[in-house]
Chain A
Amino acid sequence: MNPEYNFAFLDEGSKREIRRSILKAVAVPGYQVPFGSRELPIGRGWGTGGIQLTLSLIGPRDVLKVIDQGSDDSVNAVNIKKFINLCSDVATTTDSTEATLIQTRHRIPEEPLRNDQLLVFQVPLPEPLRVIEPSEEATKLMHAEADYTGIWLQLYESIMKYGKVTIATEYPVTVEDRYVMNPSPIPKYDNPRLHESECLYLFGAGREKKIYAIPPHTKVVSLAFDDVPFEIEHMEGRRCRLCGAENVYFDELIDRETGAVSYQCSDTGYCSKRRLRKEADC
């Protein structure tokens, strides 16, 4: 650890402010709490919301895992993990069951999380209503009055045009029958994992200066019309080419020469754990 810096980079005052915003976010599930996003040695919009949440919550005994679209080894994930380790010396892992704090971009790990774990999301655009209304003042009013007609209209328009809702990621959810929330760009496959979970989910948007949360055992319902139910991606009939897993979220790989399609677990930690276990069994 570089002794020139405070533990976990941020000064204690900043951490305290962020923790206060987190407490408010937990108290009002799905509500976007504004906070004073700090300067970091990383450009805004490159995971700075998630990093600030992690830095303000991490302690010396924590075990950290960072993933980017399910992968422990992507540049973004590796660099964030290195940076946090550099200023806190906490242990890191790729095993999501060993970690106490997981920072993620665009995925929820396959293995169910426990109530002693935290999942921190990096969020590019926290406002689910931004696509229909550019003004922050207007969207705040719409949330206050629970005026979500515009977002439902988008779903209807999609059904009208394509016969189904075509949103693949950032599929909006209603939290505790009140706020409509953007679950960050996770695939809608992961949406059901937000509902009645064991662990605390925290969402941080550094550029947009917003924090929001889904506490354990919170009702989270993906938006759907009465007669057109919410559907996740179909993963049936696919197997991971490395570990043989089924019914998980896959990355699709297409061989350039032959055009053959194969699948691989998007959650690399889960995949390598399964392979290690297999080797041990042999």
Chain B
Amino acid sequence: MINKEEAVLQVRDLLLRYGNGCECCRSRQPMEKNRCPRCGTVWAVRNVSFDVYPGEVLGIVGESGSGKSSVMKSLYFDHEVTGGSAFLKQYQDGKVNVFGASSQQRRYIKNHLMGMVYQNPLLGLRMDYSSAANVAEKIIAAGNRNVAFMDGRTVELLEAVEILTSRRAEPPRNFSGGMQQRVQISKALANNPGLLLLDEVTTGLDLSVQAKVLDLIRKIRSRYNISIILVSHDLAVIRMLADRTMVMLDGQVVESGLTDQILEDPQHAYTQQLVHSLL
């Protein structure tokens, strides 16, 4: 018998819709991309289900507007979902749907069990506070009230993402884009979460900085054995980091499997196009 590993996160039929929908789009008539031509409802995420296992990197790839960031923002409670469920192994032993949690419990989940890194550092950081305070914010939110502990932990985390400790009192405003992204990553790691959500973390960074950040994510994964969901429109990033990959188009998953498999032998027409356009 195979000893089946338990998923860190299970997502079932995640649905995110803007508008009420009509008979036409509910009965899955063809739409203009993800928008119903009759009632104008936008189906941002349509019945997406997936599992994330301990220590693995799950890549989500797709063009802009395909719903990949919406999946991430739903999981981090930035968007209120229309339907579906998600179960975190660390939350009530994976028996309770986190989308049904109260806002207080959601804050607990966000502060203790998950870390999020946004594409735009403005969303994840306080640009006017010192970098150390940005990292400490998570630790404070988790209930710690000890300055010496927070000082030690912020130094440790900023060192882990290769930011000079001598610059920890500086606000992220003073930093380059790549450095800001690294501060975000150290903030996301502050409370040793089991799951890290990375939303287009390297987009907009120049190639050498990109490589540094990607290398860092690899290191973090092997060091903390953390599970990661990685969203990117860039197949090169996905190829470098993801163990398994889901391809999204118009709010739906069109293909999923081992990353190598998807890149070597794409089945869906869209994936084929995507792989072929990879220079």
- Using CB atoms and an 8 Å cutoff, list the residues of chain A in contact with chain B: 141, 145, 147, 149, 152-153, 156-157, 159-161, 225-228
Enumerate chain A residues within 8 angstroms of B130, measured Cβ to Cβ. 157, 160-161
Q: Is the CB of B104 within 8 A of A156?
A: no
User: In the complex, A226 Cα to B144 Cα: how many Å?
Assistant: 9
Enumerate chain A residues within 8 angstroms of B141, measured Cβ to Cβ. 149
- Which of B104, B137, B140, B169 contacts A161 (CB under 8 A)? B169
30 contacts between A and B (CB under 8 A): A141-B103, A145-B103, A147-B107, A149-B137, A149-B140, A149-B141, A152-B145, A153-B126, A153-B133, A153-B136, A153-B137, A153-B140, A156-B133, A156-B136, A156-B140, A156-B147, A159-B147, A160-B130, A160-B132, A160-B136, A161-B130, A225-B146, A225-B147, A226-B145, A226-B146, A226-B147, A227-B146, A227-B147, A227-B148, A228-B147
8 shortest interchain CB distances as A-B pairs = A149-B141, A157-B133, A225-B147, A226-B146, A152-B140, A226-B145, A225-B145, A153-B137
Main secondary structure of the interface of B (DSSP, over half): helix
Say how far B115's CB is from chain A's closest CB, in angstroms.
Answer: 16
Enumerate chain B residues within 8 angstroms of A228, measured Cβ to Cβ. 147
Q: Is the CB of B107 within 8 A of A156?
A: no
0 or 1 for each of B126-166: is its CB under 8 Å from A? (1 = yes): 10011011001100110001111010000000000000000
User: In the complex, A227 Cα to B104 Cα: how many Å?
Assistant: 27
- Which of A141, A160, A226 contacts B133 (CB under 8 A)? A160
Q: Which residue of A lies closest to B169 (CB)?
A: A160
User: Considering the complex, which residues of chain B in the window 209-249 have a beta carbon less than 8 Å from any beta carbon of chain A?
Assistant: none
User: In the complex, A160 Cα to B137 Cα: how many Å?
Assistant: 13
Enumerate chain B residues within 8 angstroms of A153, measured Cβ to Cβ. 126, 129, 133, 136-137, 140
Q: Which residue of B lies closest to A150 (CB)?
A: B137
User: In the complex, A147 Cα to B107 Cα: how many Å?
Assistant: 9
- Using CB atoms and an 8 Å cutoff, list the residues of chain B in contact with chain A: 103-104, 107, 126, 129-130, 132-133, 136-137, 140-141, 145-148, 150, 169
Say how far B137's CB is from chain A's closest CB, in angstroms.
Answer: 5
Enumerate chain A residues within 8 angstroms of B150, measured Cβ to Cβ. 156
Enumerate chain B residues within 8 angstroms of A226, measured Cβ to Cβ. 145-147
Q: Given A156-B140, A160-B130, A161-B169, is A145 in contact with B147 using a C-beta cutoff of 8 Å?
A: no
Say how far B108's CB is from chain A's closest CB, in angstroms.
Answer: 11
Say how far A144's CB is from chain B's closest CB, in angstroms.
Answer: 9
Q: Is the CB of A145 within 8 A of B129?
A: no
User: In the complex, A159 Cα to B169 Cα: how many Å?
Assistant: 11
Say how far A100's CB is from chain B's closest CB, in angstroms.
Answer: 40
Q: Which residue of B lies closest to A151 (CB)?
A: B140
Q: Which residue of A lies closest to B106 (CB)?
A: A145
Q: Which residue of B lies closest to A147 (CB)?
A: B107
Q: Which residue of B lies closest to A141 (CB)?
A: B103
Extra A-B contacts (6), CB below 8 Å, given A157-B133, A226-B145, A228-B147: A145-B104, A153-B126, A153-B133, A156-B150, A159-B147, A225-B145
Enumerate chain B residues within 8 angstroms of A157, measured Cβ to Cβ. 129-130, 133
Q: Given A153-B136, A153-B137, A161-B130, is A145 in contact with B107 using a C-beta cutoff of 8 Å?
A: yes
Enumerate chain A residues within 8 angstroms of B132, measured Cβ to Cβ. 160
User: In the complex, A222 Cα to B168 Cα: how many Å?
Assistant: 27
User: In the complex, A149 Cα to B147 Cα: how many Å?
Assistant: 14
Q: Which residue of A lies closest to B131 (CB)?
A: A160
Enumerate chain B residues within 8 angstroms of A147, measured Cβ to Cβ. 107
Say how far B107's CB is from chain A's closest CB, in angstroms.
Answer: 7
Q: Which residue of B lies closest to A149 (CB)?
A: B141
User: In the complex, A153 Cα to B141 Cα: how many Å?
Assistant: 9
Enumerate chain A residues within 8 angstroms of B146, measured Cβ to Cβ. 225-227
User: In the complex, A199 Cα to B154 Cα: how many Å?
Assistant: 44
Enumerate chain B residues within 8 angstroms of A152, measured Cβ to Cβ. 140, 145
Say how far A15's CB is from chain B's closest CB, in angstroms.
Answer: 38
Enumerate chain B residues within 8 angstroms of A156, measured Cβ to Cβ. 133, 136, 140, 147, 150
Q: Which residue of B lies closest to A223 (CB)?
A: B145
Q: Which residue of A lies closest to B146 (CB)?
A: A226
User: In the complex, A145 Cα to B108 Cα: how many Å?
Assistant: 11
Say how far B3's CB is from chain A's closest CB, in angstroms.
Answer: 41
Enumerate chain B residues within 8 angstroms of A149, measured Cβ to Cβ. 137, 140-141
Enumerate chain A residues within 8 angstroms of B133, measured Cβ to Cβ. 153, 156-157, 160
User: In the complex, A145 Cα to B104 Cα: how many Å?
Assistant: 6
User: In the complex, A145 Cα to B101 Cα: how many Å?
Assistant: 14
User: In the complex, A134 Cα to B121 Cα: how many Å?
Assistant: 21
User: In the complex, A227 Cα to B148 Cα: how many Å?
Assistant: 7
User: In the complex, A159 Cα to B140 Cα: how many Å?
Assistant: 14
User: In the complex, A159 Cα to B104 Cα: how many Å?
Assistant: 28
Say how far B81's CB is from chain A's closest CB, in angstroms.
Answer: 20
User: In the complex, A147 Cα to B106 Cα: how many Å?
Assistant: 12
Enumerate chain B residues within 8 angstroms of A225, measured Cβ to Cβ. 145-147
User: In the complex, A174 Cα to B136 Cα: how many Å?
Assistant: 21
